[in-house]
Amino acid sequence: MNWKSISDRLLDGGSITEEEALAVLESPDEELLEVVQAAYRIRKKYFGKSVAIHLLQNVKSGKCPEDCTFCSQSTRALNDVERYDMQTVEKIVEGAQAAVDRNAKRYCMVASTRAPNPNELETICTATIQIKQKHPHLEICSSLGLLTEEKALKLKEAGVNRFNHNLETSRNFFPEVVTTHDFEERINTARIAKQVGLDLCCGGLYGMGESLQDRVDLAFALADLDVDSVPVNFLDPRPGTPFHGKPNPLTPNDALRALCMMRFVNPTAELRVAGGREKTLRGLQSLALYPANSIFTSGYLTTGGQDYETDKQIIEDAGFQIEMQA
């Protein structure tokens, strides 16, 4: 496969076929750097050498009634994850300062829930208004489960810039991961977010036992939604979940191939290396910045991660720079 010719086509406004995307995931290790270079050419055109940093705040923990098999915050998971209701406005606003202190472009408020109730939605909206007053250049992302158009409009009116709602996996593999809601419900929420004018952050999780074709199908489903941002997570099996104790099937090279494939399929989207980055990529984290242009720093929802100073050093050592707030 001529990887440069694929990037040439994409740089000229063309697209990649499903067969070519699958070939990226099946490519041999000796061609990996060629694949990475081809993906970097596209990343460089749209994002230069900048890396956008995001900081997560778990605003409601361990209270989700859904049965997502990978999630330690499901009420069906048997673990000691901290469980609490929606945080106060004050605590959520306080968390935004940590994002500012780490030069984060976005502050992401995430709640473990099927859908926000009226009081929870009001808390998020009030917190967003106050954060925007204190930090007008900090972008706000919220992840609150399933949305109606009315709820999405309230978030938009309050100043939320982006809504996260991951598809997680392909339509075909989805029933193996979640049974308490279906793939179409996720698609519907993603479309509602776009319809009301919110940026759509929508990605998935690799390493759950899905096929290579499932990974490709997810990438094309995201392209069909015209997503603005794609977080790519790699399974880090959590205690109390069905995946705990199972080895992660992904090698660092597999993860890099997956990121490159996602860049080829969604060339203009912000591509973020998300949960599982440190454990899956290990010593190859800096190479992930060639297809991807964004990371989470200072941990995830129920798991720790690298501190900001370490991430900053990786970014700078690789010759990239942190994208500052506008």
Q: What is the pTM of this model?
A: 0.95
Going by their DSSP bridges, the two strands 204-206 and 229-234 should be labelled as parallel
234 and 280 in contact (C-beta within 8 Å)?
yes
Q: Which domains does the chain have, with CATH numbers?
A: 3-322 (3.20.20.70)
Mean pLDDT of 308-319: 95
Q: What percent of the chain has pLDDT over 90?
A: 79
Phi, psi of 4 (to 5 degrees): -65, -40
Give residue 83's pLDDT.
81
Give residue 216's pLDDT.
98
Give residue 70's pLDDT.
76
Mean pLDDT of 7-18: 97
- Distance, in Å, from the CA atom of 197 to the CA atom of 203, rounded to the nearest integer, reads 18
| Axis-axis angle for helices 149-158, 183-195 (nearest 10) | 40
Give residue 112's pLDDT.
85
Amino acid identity of 95?
G
Taking only the tens place, the pLDDT of each residue in 205-241 is 999 999 999 999 999 999 999 999 999 999 887 666 7
Residue 307: which of 71, 98, 135, 139 has the closest Cα? 98
Q: Read off the pLDDT band of 305 (50, 70, 90).
A: confident
- Whether residue 311 is predicted with pLDDT greater than 80 in this model: the reply is yes
Taking only the tens place, the pLDDT of each residue in 234-262 is 988 766 677 776 767 799 999 999 999 99
Give residue 81's pLDDT.
67
What's the mean per-residue pLDDT of the chain? 92
Exposed / middle / buried, residue 184 (Cβ in 10 Å: 0-12, 13-18, 19+): exposed
- Whether residue 68 is predicted with pLDDT greater than 80 in this model: the reply is no
Q: How far is CA 130 from CA 55, 96, 108, 113, in A?
A: 18, 10, 15, 23
Give residue 210's pLDDT.
94
